[in-house]
Structure 1
């Protein structure tokens, strides 16, 4: 009870004394005969570094990511989609006549980088069964495909419009499929997949354009007509839907000439001191900011017994590293990792509610958005000697289904934008 009341008094006084670095609370004699001091500490070192996960699980995506763009910091980023198709119709009228076939991609409004240049998509037939022995797919998973495309489409990207992108597939592919259905060579889902393993959709990666998002309710549509001799020919269609369970985005990057070109595995750390005092995040590729607080034990040097009652980590976006096309989000995910970069859990308040970073304020003078994270639960964990080798990993939302990227100032940046930890420490001896 004494500890709870003490915390209430400290919190009350903190709200009235935010600018003081140290102050004394005289607690009434009826409660306890002691003097409590509260320290505001923002000088503990925060070490920022960058690493890259060996791979990301990208099974059952909520969007198809297709495109390529160049970035001065991250190199070339490429994303293509392996898609398995499914259908439930295996018969066509005897007097039906083939018309055409098209892949219909429905945009989900996601884009990253410049949408002004002409985009080019290519579609290929996958030659291998799209399946995984492990039950999931990674961003590095690959399957063989016929390198001669069955469709090529040049277009202007309009991601903020709801219009679908229709990519005409060549008639050799379409007519062959039509005849197999009409002649009952395909009579079930398994027979269909024996003949048509899937599609690969990719962008022309020789130009700097954008990465576009499309919903997984996109489909392949076969058009044909039926003439009953009494009326005009009736137009009909068969849709081959995407099977999300065996669909994934293969996301990769060409890192030559970047800070990340010498990464061997996810245990390779790049200190911010070696990257122009910066740390990085890139979704889809698996690049993550790691944070360490190595000298937390120095709090034990304070002579009186005490406790950390508040801990806020603050960091800012590097000036001129983001734009309307290379945009950032207002919140980031926070995880606890070990010294081998294995993710142990979300950082949470109560074991259930994840802690997210939030934009606290903007500094127009320095064009830097400031993020704040309440890391009090992590500080409490780190003070346990068995958890000294725990670290924080920060990465963006939709980390497996986007290519969002961030560049942050490190702890040695100028004071007004530097990464720092603000602790409130109360002694009660």
Structure 2
């Protein structure tokens, strides 16, 4: 059974159940005696005009995320995406044994199992010391566009092949000269507390190489580790260590993209959009950089011209993924977040249903045989609000990744003008008409 027929049958069954159970006291659907005492016609509508486009949020808040993103990769549709990490180091103690002997220093990055794109290639990374103290913006947040000056002489240049699903951490040795300086300051009591440490070492920048092929996720519990030995333990192969942990409240990732030559090159301001007709019949979503799909539903007033009194029973939006662009390296998520926008693409609020539950776009149809993956979004409550609000004509919907501030997952979504009826962007309504003349 096709999606359209299945949805229609389900909606009619629901409508009949509502008809059998409704009463004057039923507040969830205000049809009352007029419904009961008249012939009722249930209409299925799938020809409502709906348009899609792509826009870009100016920036995304990334304060205290559960994951820090590091790396870069090139995408044929989205251009180059890059994520750097800014971090402040901290510890509860700043004391080392006066007889301690420096051995080495390493950056310990703990994987959180997230990665995006190709991990089989050699990656590169440079670590720099910051010249500015890490401070949030006036509203107390860090954003993907936040940045701080740094010393262009790196304290570590590293190459590695990541194994985020096989290893729990990445151990990267830093320059001994940097480690010896930090070690001697602690051992010789030149630094005794966090204020003295942050005055001398404001933080680190972790920057990926230009030819990297993957963006990796790391836990904010990562650290810089000093290894040392003690004279009376020289015959012991085990080294002592002193950790300077990432301060999770002052660690964040800054994500940028080079969209030169892409559909999105003109997206300089959040109010700008690229319609699906300008982007090969598609709209797009990309986490991290803030690309999102905007859905416009312009002609709901047509429902008012249906003869007889009526009420909307259900409304669902269906949007399909372009599976031709999805691979095992770039997998699609099982859901998309949904919000209400104004005409300047500012978020007005989260999308809810009549029961007050937050709703998301989740996979309703998945077929490897027909290369189809379709998301469904219930929009009944939204449409009723949009029709009744004085400024409802300026309300839109937006679809984003569910972890848009801490992932770079991207999606290509078909618009309404797709030549394949099963893949085109569509709204399906069930509308009940009664008291017809």
Alignment TM-score, normalising by the size of structure 1: 0.91
Does the CA-based 8 Å contact 2:55-2:270 persist in structure 1?
A: yes
2:432 maps to which of 411, 426, 429: 426
Are 1:338 and 2:342 an aligned pair?
yes
| Cα separation, 1, equivalents of 2:364 and 2:222 | 38
Are 1:221 and 2:225 an aligned pair?
yes
2:352 maps to which of 329, 348, 356: 348
The corresponding residue for 2:331 is: 327
2:404 maps to which of 399, 406, 412: 399
Are 1:267 and 2:271 an aligned pair?
yes
Does the CA-based 8 Å contact 2:34-2:434 persist in structure 1?
A: no
Residue 235 of structure 1, CA deviation: 3.0
2:172 maps to which of 164, 167, 172: 167
| Cα separation, 2, equivalents of 1:363 and 1:351 | 31
| Cα separation, 2, equivalents of 1:149 and 1:101 | 14
Consecutive unaligned residues in structure 2, runs of 5 or more: 1-10, 20-30
Change (3 A) 1:42 1:14: farther
Are 1:315 and 2:324 an aligned pair?
no
The corresponding residue for 1:20 is: none
Residue 30 of structure 1, CA deviation: 12
The corresponding residue for 2:289 is: 285
The corresponding residue for 1:110 is: 114
Change (3 A) 1:234 1:358: closer
Does the CA-based 8 Å contact 1:318-1:408 persist in structure 2?
A: yes
The corresponding residue for 1:156 is: 161
Does the CA-based 8 Å contact 1:292-1:392 persist in structure 2?
A: yes
Q: CA RMSD in A?
A: 2.4
| Cα separation, 1, equivalents of 2:330 and 2:233 | 57
Residue 413 of structure 1, CA deviation: 0.2
Q: Cα deviation per residue 1:125-176 (whole Å; 9 max; x = unaligned)? A: 1110000242111101110011121112211121112331111011111111
Consecutive unaligned residues in structure 1, runs of 5 or more: 1-6, 16-26
Runs of 4+ off more than 6 Å: none
| Cα separation, 2, equivalents of 1:138 and 1:71 | 23
The corresponding residue for 2:246 is: 242
* Matched residues, number: 412
1:24-43 matches, within 5 Å, as 32-43=36-47
Specify the SS of the correspondent of 1:106. Answer: strand
The corresponding residue for 2:192 is: 187
The corresponding residue for 2:24 is: none
Are 1:94 and 2:129 an aligned pair?
no
The corresponding residue for 1:198 is: 203
Specify the SS of the correspondent of 1:95. Answer: coil
Specify the SS of the correspondent of 1:35. Answer: coil
More deviation in 46-55 or 229-238? 229-238
More deviation in 30-39 or 283-292? 30-39
| Cα separation, 2, equivalents of 1:262 and 1:230 | 63
| Cα separation, 1, equivalents of 2:141 and 2:89 | 17
The corresponding residue for 2:26 is: none
| Cα separation, 2, equivalents of 1:229 and 1:296 | 79
| Cα separation, 2, equivalents of 1:229 and 1:377 | 70
| Cα separation, 1, equivalents of 2:104 and 2:62 | 32
The corresponding residue for 2:152 is: 147
Residue 355 of structure 1, CA deviation: 0.2
More deviation in 268-277 or 382-391? 382-391
The corresponding residue for 2:27 is: none
2:363 maps to which of 336, 359, 379: 359
Specify the SS of the correspondent of 2:427. Answer: strand
| Cα separation, 1, equivalents of 2:102 and 2:13 | 80
Does the CA-based 8 Å contact 2:84-2:206 persist in structure 1?
A: yes
The corresponding residue for 2:414 is: 409
The corresponding residue for 1:373 is: 377
Specify the SS of the correspondent of 1:175. Answer: helix
Change (3 A) 1:315 1:14: farther
Alignment TM-score, normalising by the size of structure 2: 0.90
Residue 32 of structure 1, CA deviation: 4.0
Does the CA-based 8 Å contact 1:109-1:161 persist in structure 2?
A: no
Specify the SS of the correspondent of 1:392. Answer: strand
